[in-house]
Amino acid sequence: MSPQVKPNLQLIYVSNIERSKDFYQSIFEAEPVFTSPRYIAFSAGGDALFAIWTGGQTPNKETQRFSEIGIMLPSNEEVDLLFEKWKTNQEIEVIQDPVDEIFGRTFLVKDPDGHIIRICPID
């Protein structure tokens, strides 16, 4: 019998592991579940992980990104509440204020290495 194959790890390359750990610890309001000198993982619920890693190529902030980190919240109202909280945080760069899309309210921020984070309601 073959094992069930499902995505359960989102891994991004970061240039400064401590700076990125502090950033994600702050926005997730959670401690990492695993820490090493070059790799840190946070629980994404169930058996899924979100991890940061300095073991790969250093990210270039000028490189166009073709993917996003998604944070899905229970409602449009919670998307707006989180935006109000984050827009006053000097460590978070807002790149798109909340707008209504076909899937609901959404806004975009960047992490310290330029990775785009989309906040939206649960599909």
pLDDT in tens, 33-71: 999 999 999 999 999 999 999 986 677 767 666 789 999
CA–CA distance, 53 with 110 (Å, rounded to integer): 17
pTM, two decimal places:
0.87
What's the domain count of the chain? 2
Identify whether residues 44 and 85 lie together within a single domain: no
2 pLDDT more than 90: no
Percent of the chain predicted with pLDDT > 90: 77
Burial of 15 (0-12, 13-18, 19+ CB in 10 A): middle
Identify whether residues 44 and 86 lie together within a single domain: no
Range of the domain at 72: 67-123
Average pLDDT of 93-121?
Answer: 95
Question: Is the sign of the CA dihedral 115, 72, 40, 112 positive or negative?
Answer: positive
In a domain, 62, yes or no: no
pLDDT score recorded for residue 44: 96
3-state helix, strand, coil in the chain (%, to 5): 20, 35, 45
Identify whether residues 41 and 93 lie together within a single domain: no
Confidence of residue 82 (pLDDT cuts 50, 70, 90): very high
pLDDT score recorded for residue 64: 67
CA–CA distance, 67 with 24 (Å, rounded to integer): 18
